[in-house]
Each structure stands twice: as C-alpha cells, then as structure tokens.
Structure 1
Amino acid sequence: MFTSEKMTQDQEQQVKILKRVLEGWRMVLLPLKSIFLWEQQWHPCAIFASISLIYLVIWLLDLNFLATMAIIGLFINSVDFLVPIICNSIYTPSYWDGQKEKMFEDICRSLVNYYNKMLQNIYTFYSLRETSPCVYFIISISTSLTLAWIASSINNIFLIYILSTVMLLWPGIQHSGIFNTMLSMLHLAPKNSTLKTE
C-alpha cells in the first residue's frame, strides 16, 4: 500500500522528469495553455477550425491507413524537432522569469495529475476483474459491442475527428464550467410526475 507521502514524492519525481522532457517546448506551452483553457472568446473557434482543417486535408488526400500514420508521424517528428530550435532562436534566456517558470511547473503538474488519474481509473476498472468479474465482463463486452456497432455505422475518420475535437475542447469546457452547468441543469430539471388514476 502506498502512503500519501510516497505518492507525493513519486508525483514530484514525475513532474521533474516531465519538465526535463518538455524543456524545449516551455515557450510554446504557456500560450497553448491559455488557448486550451479558452482565456479569449475566439480560442474554442481556433481549436475547432484547426482540427477541422487537419481532418479536411486528411479526408481530401484519401490516403490508406499506413500512409496516413506515416504522414502524421512525419509531421509530429518535424514539429518536435523544429519547435525547440525556433523557440530558442526567437526568445532570449532573459525572457524566461520566475513567474513563467511557475506557470510551466503548474502545467507539468496538471499533466501529471491527469495522467495519474487516468491510470488510477484504468487500474480501478481492471481491479473489477478480481473483485466483481460479472460486472467487469458485462461492462467490457457491452462497451466492445457498442464500439463495434458505432465503428461499423459511422466513418472512422469522422469518429476520430469527433473524438479529437472533444478531447481538445474538454479542458476549456471544464475550466469554463460548462459541463458543471449542464449537470446542474439536469439535476434541477423538473421530474415528470406520473398521472395518478383514481
């Protein structure tokens, strides 16, 4: 069993490792954070338009799966190589101050928290296999069948487009409180009363 102190030490170690990995991207992460959290009104539109443009190009190219994966890999590697070089040539070391370092550390800590929470949810789900195998298999089989039915009914590129859009808009949805507002509206909705027959 992990103690909370041990988990905090592991998390701090993860934050340090992530800061080292993202060192070249730190100048880009600060503006990206404001975009993903919708600090300006046009940010969700920019996210939606960017994703739509990328998927429109993929759809127009009409490449097979391997060619699409190769182009996406080439693009990601090129961006990962060029962004640190461009950032280091544009920004001087004096541009980076203590406030920006704290914001960068907060971003890394948030990413580590989301990653650990996702892993915890996965472990919790797989622990159902030991504690409650019937529930585990019912959830697994019904989810697999539902996903297979959806994938056979709807174009796969369109499904990935919807998933990507929701994933990239989700931090702003949570930060702006839209999701909580919708949940509270559902809870406050009047319940349909059944007609009583006399």
Structure 2
Amino acid sequence: MADYTVSQNREQQVKKLKRFLEGWRLALLLLKSILLWEQQWCPCAIVGSVSFLYSLIWLLDLNALATFAVIGLFLNFVDFIVPVVCKSLYVPTAWTGQHEKTFEEVCKSIVTTYNKSLHNVRQFYSLRETSPCMYYILSISFLMTLAWVASFINNIFLMYILSTVLLLTPGVRHRGIINTLLTMVNMAPKSTKSE
C-alpha cells in the first residue's frame, strides 16, 4: 500500500513539474543532451561556459550582495527569455511523441533526484533524534572542515570547482567513467614483496 502511495505521489509530482516546465521543454531536451555528453564537445562546452561565468564574476569583483543581485537578475532574464525563444524557434506541430517521452524522462529524473535528496536530508536530521552524538560529530566535523578549506582557498575558486564537478557528474555517470576507472584499478597487477 505504501509503495502505491509513493508511486502515485511521484506521478503527481511529475505531472506538476511537466506543467511548470512547459515553456522550457525544448531547452530541457538540449540541456539533457549536453549534460549527458551526447556529443564529444559537450564536456568542453560545460567547462568553458562555467569558466566564462566565473571569470566574469571574478573580473566584475562585486561584493556578495551585488553578486547575488546580478545572479538573480540573470536568472530572471533567462527564465523570461527561454520560453519566448523556444516558442518562436520551435513550432508545436514539430513536437513528436519521442520528444514528449524524453521530456517525461527528464521530469521523472528531476523528481527522483529531488526526492532522493530530500530523503537524505531528512535521514540526516533524523539522526538528531535517534543518535544525537553521531549527528553532532558529523555536522561539526563537516562544518569545521568546510571552514578550514574555505580559509585557505578563494571562495570563488571553490564555487567554480564545485559547479564544474556538479555539472560534469551526470555525463561521468552516463558514460560509466568511474566504473571503468575502478575496473582498471582492480585489474592492475598487485605488487608482491620479494624476499
């Protein structure tokens, strides 16, 4: 019964998300193909665009509040212009069943990722009730490590690294690069001590 409720709730979330992202359909399909590295140039485009964005932030040298304001303005502009451009470039009759299926897969993966993240956060905070010592050890250790790293490395550079890794992760997973590397490490000859 619980599985049916979760599945029904997930389907409702997917339907809501599909309605919410209706104007972004074409852009999401393009973004999916870039994030999953369907072309050879996709990783370079990701790294190049993130590098350009952070270079611009670094060159503008704005304070934190102005940076948030500029990022907010940019996101509002993108949220306004993308649906307009998609509607003008792409006629509704060209939207095929395959496009709709891919769009639904994207929405399902967004909902699944959101639900997994929410579950992980709730599970972490449930440690506060079930195992307070473990909760405080983990949270204090993580925050102290984060503060220590942030004191030595420029914050913009840290955000650049984090953004690049997050945007490259779907392609790395899709291509199975981590599994290939782990297989290569396991296949490496083991060194034996000679006496």
**What TM-score bracket applies, with the shorter chain setting the length?**
over 0.9
How many residue pairs get matched? 195
Alignment partner, residue 17 of structure 1: 16
Distance of 2:43 and 2:171 partners within structure 1: 8
Kindly report which structure 2 residues correspond to 1:94-133, keeping only aligned pairs within 5 A, or say none: 94-133=93-132
Distance of 2:189 and 2:130 partners within structure 1: 37
Taking a change above 3 Å as real, the CA distance of residues 195 and 3 of structure 1, as seen in their structure-2 partners, is farther
TM-score with structure 1 setting the length: 0.92
Alignment partner, residue 48 of structure 2: 49
Which segments of 5 or more consecutive residues in structure 2 lack a partner in the other structure?
A: none
Kindly report which structure 2 residues correspond to 1:1-198, keeping only aligned pairs within 5 A, or say none: 3-187=2-186
Q: State percent identity of aligned pairs.
A: 62
* Letter paired with 1:43: C
Taking a change above 3 Å as real, the CA distance of residues 115 and 195 of structure 1, as seen in their structure-2 partners, is farther
Cα distance, 1:41 vs structure 2: 1.1
Distance of 1:193 and 1:136 partners within structure 2: 42
Distance of 2:193 and 2:90 partners within structure 1: 66
TM-score with structure 2 setting the length: 0.93
Distance of 2:190 and 2:124 partners within structure 1: 32
Distance of 1:186 and 1:66 partners within structure 2: 46
* Letter paired with 1:58: I
* Letter paired with 2:69: A
Distance of 1:192 and 1:118 partners within structure 2: 41
Taking a change above 3 Å as real, the CA distance of residues 187 and 118 of structure 1, as seen in their structure-2 partners, is farther
* TM-superposition CA deviations, 1:110-161 (whole Å, max 9, x none): 0101111111111111122222222111111110100000111110000111
SS in 2 for 1:63: coil
Backbone CA RMSD of aligned residues:
1.8
Deviation beyond 6 Å, 4+ runs, structure 1: 190-196
Which segments of 5 or more consecutive residues in structure 1 lack a partner in the other structure?
A: none
SS in 1 for 2:38: coil
SS in 1 for 2:37: coil
